[in-house]
Structure 1
Amino acid sequence: MIELPRALVVLLTAAAAVVILAGVQAVGSIVGPVMLALVLVVAVSPIRGVLERKGAPTWLQVAVPFLVVLLVLAGMVAIIAVAATQLASIAPTYSDKFAALAAGARAFAAEIGFGTDQIDKAISSFDPSRLLPIAQGLLSGALGAGSALFLIVVLSLSMNLDAPAFTRIIRVAEVERPELHAALTTFASRTRRYLLVSTVFGIICAVLDVIALYIFSVPLPLLWGILALITNYVPNIGFILGLLPPALLALLDGGFSTMLLVILAYIVINVVVQSFVQPKFLGDAVGLSTTMTLISLIVWAFVIGPLGALLAIPLSLLVRALVIDSDPSARFARALVSGEAPPQGRTPA
């Protein structure tokens, strides 16, 4: 057997990855719902396990997890619809406040000797009234995404129906393909733990953010708390995405000082919870280094879109399970992805 040079193997692997990602991007409208359905089914699989151990009939093992998935999907659509409606109702009321803020910025620039041209350009590029068509588009997109939502529901039902048989297949694979069994089992457990920890600490951050916004009298605090919870699933930059809308409203509603207070409160809350407390509970459950997490976010957001940003970690865990963890000879690749030193010893042939 001819052994290819390592450099050629790396180049071929990179080329194959580019081709596969381009293909995934071409059918991203299908891949996104499929992966969301898969992640939701994996998340509720412990419910099915409990029902199976208690001797519940098969139809109940399918129906209960599927109903939980339906509730999650209904909640997601409702949140988007309510957010768009509230934004549409509040955006036009800030045009006058924005004009007054712009006038104050021009006066301040004149006092310190700066020209107003750059400020005028920045002001002309943004108008709070532009939030209205954006909100209306978001609302129509949420309510008009019946085909995608229908696809997710059908896929979730199909996956739940196949789950008992798939579980039996995985148990057989434990004997015949132990590496693949271990990889898929690890993927499922890490995904569930990641979702659980992110949800719990996302709720904690959201509650604290809502309290801070109530204290500073920022409009729609509950809406921004829900946004903070959703963006908590976006690694690395989710905190910034959840901060921008309330900070902007704080500037328009309460002035520059209120905006600074909101930014400071968000930074304190999220840094303490997400940087010091959450890692102690999450530990190495993700199995991805900080660099790989950021790369995953960039790649999946580019390939699938916003849904790819939300599912960046589960998608990367699935790729790691299928490509790296199932291959006993890929221990150095596993170390590069996770950032952990490989065990000592010769790589298996």
Structure 2
Amino acid sequence: MRWPWQRRREVPAVQPVPEPAQQRWMLPRTLVVLLSIIAAIGVLILLSQVASFVTPVFLGINLVIAVMPLQQWLLRIGMPRAVAALASVLTVYAFLIALFWSIYWSVQSLVAELPGYSAEFNAMYRDVLGWLEGLGISQDEALQQLQSAFSPSAIASAVGSLASNAGSALGFLATLFVVIFFLAWDSMGLPERVKRIAATNPGIVRGVDHFAAGVQRYWVVATVFGLIVSALDLVALSALGVPLALVWALFAFVTNYIPNVGFVLGVIPPTLMALLANGPINALLTAILFSVINFVMQSLIQPKVAGDAVGVTPATSFLSLLVWAFALGPIGALLALPATLAVKTLLIDPDPKLAWVGKLITNKLEPREGRLGKAIGPGVQGR
């Protein structure tokens, strides 16, 4: 019994002990890095399997972006959009035709010039046989090796491989020309579409804009350096008395678009002509002088300037060449920096977690506003 004056002692209710917050399960950082590397390698291998489709499309995008300033200028002076787009298409076509015609002219000039040096070729052939005999290789053994190398089966195999490569090249060019036409024609309505995208996704537009500006600067730098290298080669080859110096200088301009290794292709024809026309000493001087000019300009100076123009470090520029040449073939070497810039601006820059990667591969160049930014206006860009 409890008296009225006795208060009931309330036993405090036991408060439930809060359970510790569940920690989110995460993979170890080392495993994440390894899986990312494996995924990147897998993507590159897949790209190598579809390079015949990806390469002409991406090259066409690059060329259309490169001539976009011309199209924008024609629109500013009052030209109809169809006329501006058609001018862009014709400009790209003219550039490609001139490029491939210069390659054809170089090869045709070499083929036409070689018969005039048949006596020198025969003398060089005899000298080689004498040198082989000095090494203990008889003339019969040398001829046997030559006959096996130029047997009907070997020639048929070489012709079949050449025909296959020619068919692939023609298919590549046909795809490239069609892609360029439709991309340039579709660019007539690009400003309106970009404005609609920027209204909801301005970050994507800024990334594409920076990519376009970098691609334009890259092609300008590659063309300017090609002209400089071509002029220096013309002076050097003319001074050494190499036949067809203008042809080889033009060929050097074409091969300059292949960074770092293009001069290896360009040095072979002038060295051969110097050997037949002027002897081994002149050929050696030609190879050394040509290689020094092209290696210094193309492999040392140009990657630094092109990397600064695009916004990546020289090491990134060189590694890009190796990676994209593996993924996209020989044309991948030409598209190495634009491809790296596309990955950076469209995949790395929008992700804050990958900001350290952008800082690692980027130099101090700040992104510049490209043609898309000027088309959609600063108000949309700043959202």
Task: State the TM-score, normalized to the length of structure 2.
Answer: 0.73
Q: Does 1:150 align with 2:174?
A: yes
Contact 1:210 1:225 in 2 (8 A): yes
Contact 1:250 1:258 in 2 (8 A): yes
What SS does structure 2 have at the residue aligned with 1:236? coil
Residue 259 of structure 1: CA displacement? 1.8
Q: Does 1:115 align with 2:138?
A: no
Mapped to 1, the partners of 2:182 and 2:221 lie a distance apart of 27
Contact 1:243 1:266 in 2 (8 A): yes
Contact 1:81 1:142 in 2 (8 A): no
Aligned to 2:329: 305
Question: Which amino acid in structure 2 is aligned with residue 197 of structure 1?
Answer: V
Determine what percentage of the aligned residue pairs are the same residue: 36
Mapped to 1, the partners of 2:91 and 2:167 lie a distance apart of 21
Residue 222 of structure 1: CA displacement? 2.6
Residue 60 of structure 1: CA displacement? 1.5
Q: In structure 2, which of residues 347, 358, 361 is the aligned counterpart of residue 334 of structure 1? A: 358
Contact 1:234 1:297 in 2 (8 A): no
Mapped to 2, the partners of 1:136 and 1:205 lie a distance apart of 35
What SS does structure 2 have at the residue aligned with 1:314? helix
- The change in CA–CA distance for 1:116 and 1:188 in structure 2 (over 3 A counts) is farther
Residue 135 of structure 1: CA displacement? 11
Residue 257 of structure 1: CA displacement? 1.8
Question: Which amino acid in structure 2 is aligned with residue 148 of structure 1?
Answer: F
The unaligned stretches of length 5 or more in structure 1 are 342-349
Alignment deviations for residues 304-337 of structure 1 (CA, whole Å, 9 cap, x no partner): 2222222222222222222212323322111232
Alignment deviations for residues 58-97 of structure 1 (CA, whole Å, 9 cap, x no partner): 2122111111111112223322332333343344555653
Question: Which amino acid in structure 1 is aligned with residue 40 of structure 2?
Answer: A
Aligned to 2:31: 8
Name the stretch that deviates more: 247-256 or 97-106. 97-106
Mapped to 1, the partners of 2:238 and 2:33 lie a distance apart of 54
- Give the count of matched residue pairs: 335
Aligned to 2:105: 82
Mapped to 2, the partners of 1:134 and 1:78 lie a distance apart of 24
Larger Rg: 2
Alignment deviations for residues 255-291 of structure 1 (CA, whole Å, 9 cap, x no partner): 2221232234324534665578757865611333333
Aligned to 2:260: 236
Q: Does 1:62 align with 2:85?
A: yes
Q: In structure 1, which of residues 45, 49, 58 is the aligned counterpart of residue 72 of structure 2? A: 49
Contact 1:179 1:325 in 2 (8 A): no
Mapped to 1, the partners of 2:163 and 2:115 lie a distance apart of 16
What SS does structure 2 have at the residue aligned with 1:288? coil
Aligned to 2:54: 31
What SS does structure 2 have at the residue aligned with 1:148? helix
- The change in CA–CA distance for 1:208 and 1:65 in structure 2 (over 3 A counts) is same
The unaligned stretches of length 5 or more in structure 2 are 1-23, 366-383
**RMSD, aligned CA:** 3.8
Residue 225 of structure 1: CA displacement? 1.4
Contact 2:307 2:317 in 1 (8 A): no
Residue 208 of structure 1: CA displacement? 2.2
Aligned to 1:257: 281
Aligned to 2:238: 214
Q: In structure 2, which of residues 102, 108, 124 is the aligned counterpart of residue 101 of structure 1? A: 124
Question: Which amino acid in structure 2 is aligned with residue 217 of structure 1?
Answer: G
What SS does structure 1 have at the residue aligned with 2:135? coil
Contact 1:205 1:269 in 2 (8 A): yes
Question: Which amino acid in structure 2 is aligned with residue 338 of structure 1?
Answer: T
